[in-house]
Structure 1
Amino acid sequence: MDLQDQLKNLFPDHVHEEANDIKDDSDGIWMQDEPLLCKYEKRKGKPQTIIAGYTGATDDFKILAKELKTTLSVGGSFKDDEIIIQGDYRDKIMTILKDKGFKVKRVGG
């Protein structure tokens, strides 16, 4: 008798849910009603894309920053509740965020 059978004997009313059955499209990231702001700036003469306006947990925003950086294969950082991506990737970032289910607003030119 394996562990699952022993648990069924001890707790007959318990319904076991497989971890693989529960799937969330947002990968556990909190979705918000307000749009994220995606803007383009030049800092020290170099182009940067900045994503701001996330109202969820800081850890979720850091996870989103890492996903964006690895998807685009670019450098970047997270500070002052903003994701800073090196280069002008507004269009690509906006499509990635829209596919994840976020509302995105383009700020600036």
Structure 2
Amino acid sequence: MTSDRSGDHKPVTASRSRRTERPPTASEQLEELLGYPWPFPGRPPKHDLSTWTVTDDWPDPVPVTEAEIEVFERWFSDLFDEMFGPDTGSPDTGPEIDLENGTTK
């Protein structure tokens, strides 16, 4: 930007506004703290499945409530009929099953 003043023929330039310095990003802070860039360049290492441990702490047999059985029978009855054949009788006519330990009474 220039302006003409009487008697002064030098161009006058507008001063640039000073930008305030922004705070560092989280990645920049981590890089400064760790000493190397974050996120790491390249692909992450594959998981080594040989170090995984699977623990089965379910009781044997797994307890199932009557309400859970009713939900499965209602939602999956068509699938159960295909897999095991149609229900030939009322559930009350068969042997009673103790749901606590999975045995018949």
* TM-score category, normalised to shorter length: under 0.3
- TM-score, length-scaled by structure 1: 0.23
Q: Which structure has the highest strand share of the two? A: 1
Structure showing greater relative contact order (alpha-carbon pairs closer than 8 Å, 6 or more residues apart): 1
